[in-house]
Structure 1
Amino acid sequence: MSHLTTHVLDATTGTPAVNVVVSLARHLPGGAVEGVAQGFTDTDGRLALGPDALEPGMYAITFGTGAWFEGRGIRSFYPLVTVTFTVSDTDRHLHVPLLLSPFAYSTYRGS
Structure 2
Amino acid sequence: MNRMIKYSLAVAMISVSAFSIAATSGNPAGTMINPVSVHVLNLKTGVPSEGVTVVPDKKEGNKWVKLNSAVTRHDGRINALYPDGQEIQPGDYRVTFETGKYYAAHNEDTFFPEIPVIIHVPVAGEHYHIPLLLSQYGYSTYRGS
TM-score, structure 2 as length reference: 0.72
From the two aligned structures, give the one with the greater strand fraction: 1
Q: Secondary structure at the match of 1:37?
A: coil
- Name the residue aligned to 1:22: 54
Deviation of 1:91 after TM superposition, in Å, equals 3.2
Stretches of structure 1 lacking an aligned partner (at least 5 in a row) = none
- The answer on 1:78 being equivalent to 2:109 is no
Q: Alignment RMSD, CA only?
A: 1.3
Stretches of structure 2 lacking an aligned partner (at least 5 in a row) = 1-31
- Name the residue aligned to 2:124: 90
- Name the residue aligned to 1:99: 133
From the two aligned structures, give the one with the greater helix fraction: 2
Greater relative contact order (Cα 8 A, min sep 6): structure 1 or 2? 1
1:50 is aligned with what amino acid? Answer: Y
Runs of 4 or more off by more than 6 Å in structure 1?
A: none
d(CA) in 2 for partners of 1:25, 1:92: 17
- Name the residue aligned to 1:3: 35
2:50 is aligned with what amino acid? Answer: V
- Name the residue aligned to 1:37: 68
TM-score, structure 1 as length reference: 0.94
